Structure 1
């Protein structure tokens, strides 16, 4: 009695597995006629009971020896599974992982029945495509930042130094032409214009890649950024609170800097805020950044459709394996919270 109950319980579980497993399960005979199939197989392929299982794209095209089975898995039963494309009822082909097994042979007729298991690979392929796309974007951003670094160095050390040399030479010329008032005034105007160009070059160099980021780290560089914005926009009170001086991985430093830079740009341009709070905190394995303003806010869904700034900010943090959260509503300001894991990994 106990054995019978155990057998009934086992059959019950097997039926449940057959009904609810996500893999497609098909029982077919030697003519590939479908004898039984579970709901997942119907959903995946659209085939019906009694129909013949079509050959996959690999078996249709492969070269066969005389008398050899068309189905590679049945012919080479030592192969556990392989990936191919399988035709569905509406004519399209889906990527599947297939495996077969001989499960029954009639002792009299020698007819055989096979188990065919289909696992949909579409989602995995999409995930792989997303992973490759993410990797490419990461490398493009890294290449862009390296180019910014090179250009910033070139502007600072090359063009900047050359202009400084010219400025010194003009000062020397000025000393000799003081008695020529018109010439002296003209040279002074040229020198003033040259100083303006030098300041512009310095500003462009800093915007491309702050030297302090590589030399001192994220906290001093953010402090300099906040000060520079504050000088130009004195109507906005910007406070920065960073509770550590440790160095981060270079990728973390540049991406955190770019996010704060973009956020301040948006606040100055659109938010009409009078107060901005920026906090950078080290929490166990996470580096957390908070940016909050008391501006006019915005409809997040509308901005996401048309604004590239927020998308690029989120993209940078996602590539670091972090999380990017933003809360905003009309007349309620905006709050951004960013968490980055493993922020110190591989830093030399």
Structure 2
């Protein structure tokens, strides 16, 4: 009630002041006109009609100004309410691409402080997740006035990354020059799931292509170069037998024969590292046993391997993923764990495959947000594209345990 009275009181005061101003302005105009025409102000007959006409015109002018001002204030209030309460984030940037104004939705989405001003938008914008921004002002989607939505990655001040679509527009500020308005909208969950699915498909295709290429090169090394080296070693033996009595030549041929034999071993080892034939011909269990035997001989680490479950082979994608994950885990243990023993358990359950690799070395401290190495990331990626998971538990002086679970339902079915 009091608010309404105050509003009406302010309106009445405003109208009174404008009325007085109108009368005074009209008098000044009439006096000025009469002075220019040389007419005496005492001539009321001529003065009154002119004063009334000027008063009406001036009143109409002030009324127009009043209603225009009221309409502009209403529009400003409406736009301000839209700006503050719209669900999309809105940023206003100056010509230097610095944030000069932001609405609550933008501050929440980008995790900006309440007084988010003079923050460079370029410091938040990224081209792709996990990569540094590779662009300049001339190619920036803001500066080039692209009005179509652009999907970018936004790095928040707390180093989190979010996928958003940004729509830009621009206007000319009389005081500050060109200004840019950005509408920022978070990519929907369905779109995000679709992107993740596509990313999985692409990653799986890349890994499959890598495995196929490994298999091809491995076969060529084993059946091509390996066989040729073996034939060369046989010929060296035959030449050595024919050089009886020529000790110097026999010694040199013997050295060359031994070098060829070592080269054949290296080629076979490299072939097995690229893609062991037992993995395709016999299966995962046999391939792991062979790899573990070579691994123990090479690094001097005792590995205990156990297999549980049926004798049925795993699906081919699961076999490849588990073999590579186990291989990576063992290499990491040899590099960093300082362990003498490793336990490996492979289990074929009815609906999933389970792999456990445990060392008893120095271990390490797992901290939230700690960046993972390439090896651990590769394990997670291989399991993830098949709908599986990798769990890592570690404690200093007590070792590290890596557990992998891959279902037989997503990408891993036969």
Pick the TM interval, shorter chain: 0.5 to 0.7
Query: Counterpart in 1 of 2:304?
Result: 239
Instruction: Please state if 1:309 is matched with 2:375.
Output: yes
Structure 1: gaps spanning 5 or more residues? 1-33, 49-56, 59-83, 96-119
Does the Cα contact within 8 Å between 2:354 and 2:404 map onto a contact in 1? yes
Instruction: Please state if 1:158 is matched with 2:239.
Output: no
Query: Counterpart in 2 of 1:266?
Result: 332
Question: What TM-score comes out, normalization by structure 1 length?
Answer: 0.66
Q: How does 1:272-287 map to 2 (within 5 A)?
A: 272-287=338-353
Does the Cα contact within 8 Å between 1:304 and 1:310 map onto a contact in 2? no
Match for residue 320 of structure 1 among 386, 390, 410: 386
d(CA) in 2 for partners of 1:340, 1:254:
12
Q: How does 1:168-317 map to 2 (within 5 A)?
A: 168-234=234-300, 236-243=301-308, 244-301=310-367, 305=371, 307-317=373-383
- Residue 325 of structure 1: SS of its match in structure 2? strand
Tell me how far 1:125 sits from its aligned partner: 2.8
Tell me how far 1:91 sits from its aligned partner: 2.9
RMSD between aligned residues: 3.2
Tell me how far 1:298 sits from its aligned partner: 1.1
- Residue 86 of structure 2: SS of its match in structure 1? helix
Tell me how far 1:275 sits from its aligned partner: 1.5
* Greater mean deviation of Cα atoms: 201-210 or 331-340: 331-340
User: Which protein, 1 or 2, shows the higher relative CO under an 8 Å CA cutoff with sep ≥ 6?
Assistant: 1
d(CA) in 2 for partners of 1:301, 1:259:
22
Does the Cα contact within 8 Å between 2:351 and 2:407 map onto a contact in 1? yes
Match for residue 43 of structure 1 among 87, 90, 102: 87
Query: Counterpart in 2 of 1:22?
Result: none
d(CA) in 1 for partners of 2:228, 2:369:
44
Q: Deviation per CA, 1:207-245, whole angstroms, max 9, x where unpaired? A: 0000000000000111111111112233x2210001243
The aligned length equals: 257
Distance 1:186 1:337, change over 3 A: same
Distance 1:276 1:132, change over 3 A: same
Tell me how far 1:345 sits from its aligned partner: 5.2
Tell me how far 1:94 sits from its aligned partner: 5.0
Query: Counterpart in 1 of 2:190?
Result: 124
* Greater mean deviation of Cα atoms: 168-177 or 242-251: 242-251
Query: Counterpart in 2 of 1:117?
Result: none
Match for residue 92 of structure 1 among 159, 182, 187: 182
Does the Cα contact within 8 Å between 2:166 and 2:182 map onto a contact in 1? no
Q: Deviation per CA, 1:57-113, whole angstroms, max 9, x where unpaired? A: 89xxxxxxxxxxxxxxxxxxxxxxxxx99889x932356xxxxxxxxxxxxxxxxxx
Tell me how far 1:121 sits from its aligned partner: 5.0
Tell me how far 1:127 sits from its aligned partner: 2.9
Does the Cα contact within 8 Å between 2:89 and 2:183 map onto a contact in 1? no
d(CA) in 2 for partners of 1:306, 1:287:
24
d(CA) in 2 for partners of 1:121, 1:313:
28
d(CA) in 2 for partners of 1:207, 1:195:
18
Distance 1:302 1:272, change over 3 A: farther
Tell me how far 1:284 sits from its aligned partner: 2.3
Instruction: Please state if 1:342 is matched with 2:342.
Output: no
Query: Counterpart in 2 of 1:10?
Result: none
- Residue 273 of structure 1: SS of its match in structure 2? coil
d(CA) in 2 for partners of 1:156, 1:303:
44
Query: Counterpart in 1 of 2:201?
Result: 135
d(CA) in 2 for partners of 1:134, 1:212:
27
In our comparison, the structure showing a higher alpha carbon Rg is 2
Distance 1:210 1:92, change over 3 A: same
- Residue 346 of structure 2: SS of its match in structure 1? strand
Tell me how far 1:136 sits from its aligned partner: 1.3
Does the Cα contact within 8 Å between 2:362 and 2:398 map onto a contact in 1? yes
Question: What TM-score comes out, normalization by structure 2 length?
Answer: 0.56
Distance 1:246 1:41, change over 3 A: farther
